[in-house]
Structure 1
Amino acid sequence: MGIVGMPEISSYWSKSKLYAGSYISSVMTREKFEILLRCIHFRDNSDVDDPLDPLFKVRPLVTAIRDCCQAVYKPGPMVVIDESMVPFRGRSKVRQYIPGKAHKYGFKLYKVCTPSGYTWNFKIHSGSQTKHQGLNSTESLTVELCEELLDMGATLYADNYYCSLTLAEYLLKKKTYLCGTLSSTRQYLPKEVTESKKKKNEMKGRENSNGVKVFKWRDKRNVLTISTVSEHSDQLVPSGKVNRCREEVFKPQSVMAYNKAKKGVDVFDQYTSYYSLLRKGKKWYRKLAFELLTGLTVVNAWVLHCQYFPRAKMSQLQFRVFIVFPHWRRA
């Protein structure tokens, strides 16, 4: 159904010449499919550990998929954190509205991905966030998602929604580095950097005693970045690109590193949009579960396949093994 799109689910069993010849009708009757779709559940409603959990109907499935994603693959030194939206306009306690997204209504997923698009860890937004000492809710969420990567020398790339001076200092104590864009309204930022006026291709930066660096670079607009990577400085370096006048383009190292790594979640969203299986429905848990089963796991399998076998074609058996068995390796 993701490959062959139809306006309605019943169209797959239509005898009209416009929809005739569907492979799905030869596999299963429409009545059987509708019964299975109506009765599908992912947890016994009478067996609930936490009745106040708004995601209790899909909690075992979410936990199993997350554990499998972390067991199959270990990310490298670069990871990126961002959010994705699962479109849903029905009634649900955890439905969000984000006007800047392509799908404005739906479930928000916080993800930790690799630059290649592999989702290593994720969390579904379901209300209040447990705070760490000295951190706000967003900073605590970032630490929770990357908890198993702390003290390993990894570099986390994030946008201005997650980045702050307090988070950068906390991660630096845990031997984890942070690089990303920064909002000028954050606390404890150096005013000589945030309030400075720069011309095009000018840059200014400051570093505090803890090793956190804040840069301001003027391109078409002001770009404020934060970094704890030792290699990043306030000097512009060649980016390997030229402008319309055939002149070499210079950019800050922090901006180039951020642009290179930040594409991870966008690559994932691009892959899932090609053959989406989602259909309109009133059951929120079914929409969320199908996105995880047919979107997240399939894209992760495809990313691993492209990484281990870049020139080989994946058979149907190999594809199933990638998804089902968490300890499958290249051998």
Structure 2
Amino acid sequence: MIDGRPIFRATMAKNRVKILLRFCRFDNIATRDERLKEDKLAPVRDLWVMFLAQLRACYTPGGSLSVDGQLIPTRGRCNFRQYIPSKPGKYGLRIFWCYDSDTVYPLNGEVYLGRQSQAAGVGRNTSPICNLVKRLVQPWINTGRTITTGVQTSLVGTIRRNKKEIPQELQSDPYRPEQSSIFCFDRQITLVSYVPKKRDAMILLSTLHHDKAIDNEKKNKPEIILYYNEIKGGVDRMDQMVQTYSCKRKTKHWPMTFFFNMIVGAVAAFVVWTIKKSTMERKETSSSTVIFVTIGF
């Protein structure tokens, strides 16, 4: 607080912030234990639902959407905390976001809770991740958008190599040359296997691409991979923007960690403001042009 931005110190005193955080709660503690039996996210569920409703109500996405995961670092006790060694924080709460690929506006989000009862919306006999992604993109199915699955909806994404449906020829092979590609086509589906380096293979599926287009200037990468790389990474960009003005505080209570991460709403507000400002500037420019022409005549 002392060496932070002046506007933060002017808004509220440090001790006042500590008092508010100490008594900050997001649900009725008297009924929490009962709700936790059906919903692991019960301590912040109501706040989360209202937050997502506002995100969807304030923005109409473009033609390209993406789904990616965000890890909120925390070491606090939580029975759905994830361990992802490739992430800087390694331990944390995992949120899957559906966002606009062009503006990084968060449209819909869902916390990965693992297995829980049917009442909370996650079945025990189906793939939790598969169902989660379907729920995230459901509002934009049949709208002509591309999601990075379906009628009037295109899909572009990576596939794990251990899937039994993938032909053996597309798997990693020490004899396959670097920067080589193998394509498979089945009606409207294209499958490509690209070798970025020896003994490795990237496998992607697309319903948007239907040929063997390759960019020779970019390590012979297929157009599918170039498209995928271009629209992915939005969550990383969102994290970077959030960290610039982070309000996070050290805490072992995961609901507070979750609440601090809701500053992504500031990113959404910034996107809306930027688009609104750009629209107004275009209108002003257009009006000025009309007046100039009129005066000229």
Indicate the TM-score class for this superposition, using the shorter chain for normalisation: 0.7 to 0.9
What residue number does 2:264 align with?
Answer: 296
Q: Displacement of 1:101 after TM fit? A: 0.7
* Map of 1:4 onto structure 2: 4
Letter of the aligned partner of 1:307 in structure 2?
I
Give the paired residue count: 270
Distance 1:213 1:2, change over 3 A: farther
- Pairing of 1:47-196 with structure 2 (within 5 A): 47-48=31-32, 50-52=35-37, 53-115=39-101, 116-128=103-115, 130-131=122-123, 136-157=127-148, 171-172=149-150, 174-194=151-171
Check conservation: 2:158, 2:205, Cα contact below 8 A: yes
User: Matches of 1:178 and 1:28 in 2, distance apart?
Assistant: 47
Aligned-partner Cα distance in 1 for 2:278–2:159: 36
Contact preservation (8 Å) 2:114, 2:128:
no
**Amino acid of the structure 2 residue aligned with 1:4:** G
Query: Where do residues 137-286 of structure 1 align in structure 2 (5 Å cutoff)?
Result: 137-157=128-148, 171-172=149-150, 174-194=151-171, 197-209=175-187, 211-220=188-197, 221-229=200-208, 231-237=209-215, 250-286=220-256
Partner of 1:328: none
Alignment of 1:10-25 (within 5 A): none
Deviations 1:123-175 (A, max 9, x none): 11223272499x63222111111111111222111xxxxxxxxxxxxx23x33
For residues 2 and 140 of structure 1, the distance between their equivalents in structure 2, rounded to whole angstroms, comes to 46
| Change over 3 Å in CA distance of 1:132–1:145 after alignment to 2 | farther
Gaps in structure 2 of 5+ consecutive residues: 117-121, 282-297
Q: CA deviation at 1:91?
A: 1.2
Equivalent-residue separation in structure 2 for 1:28 and 1:202 (angstroms): 58
Q: For the residues of structure 2 that align with 1:263 and 1:302, how far apart are their CA atoms?
A: 19
User: How far apart, in 2, do the equivalents of 1:195 and 1:208 lie?
Assistant: 21
Question: 1:205 corresponds to which letter in structure 2?
Answer: F
Deviation digits for residues 187-207 of structure 1, max 9, x if unmatched?
211223336653233321111
Q: Residue 50 of structure 1 aligns to a residue in which SS?
A: helix
Percent of aligned positions that are identical: 26
Q: Is the 8 A contact 1:97 1:104 kept in 2?
A: yes
Q: Deviations along 1:100-127, whole A, 9 cap, x unmatched?
A: 1111111111111112211111011223
Counterpart of 1:16? Answer: none
Letter paired with 1:189: I
CA change 1:311–1:101 in 2 (3 A) is: farther
Query: 2 CA distance for matches of 1:177 and 1:131?
Result: 26
- More helix by percentage: 2
| More RCO (CA 8 Å, sep 6+) | 1
Gaps of 5+ in 1: 6-21, 158-170, 242-248, 314-331
Matched, 1:35 2:19: yes
**Residues 57-76 of structure 1: CA deviation (Å, up to 9, x unaligned):** 11111001101101111222
Q: What is the letter of the counterpart of residue 252 of structure 1?
A: P
How far apart are 1:83 and its partner, in Å? 0.7
1:214 touches 1:226 (CA, 8 Å); kept in 2? Answer: yes
Task: Measure, in 2, the Cα distance between the counterparts of 1:39 and 1:68.
Answer: 25
- Cα offsets for 1:197-228 (capped at 9, x unmatched): 5323332111124x222111233353221111
TM-score (norm 2): 0.80
The one-letter code sitting in structure 1 at the alignment partner of 2:36 is P
Q: What is the TM-score normalised by the length of structure 1?
A: 0.72
Whole-angstrom distance in 2 between the partners of 1:235 and 1:25: 55
1:44 is aligned to 2:28: yes
Structure 2 CA distance for aligned equivalents of residues 207 and 77 of structure 1: 24
The answer to whether the 8 Å contact 2:110/2:132 transfers is no
CA contact (8 A) 1:150 1:175 kept: yes
Distance between the aligned counterparts of 1:148 and 1:25, measured in 2?
A: 41
Over the aligned positions, Cα root-mean-square deviation in angstroms equals: 2.9
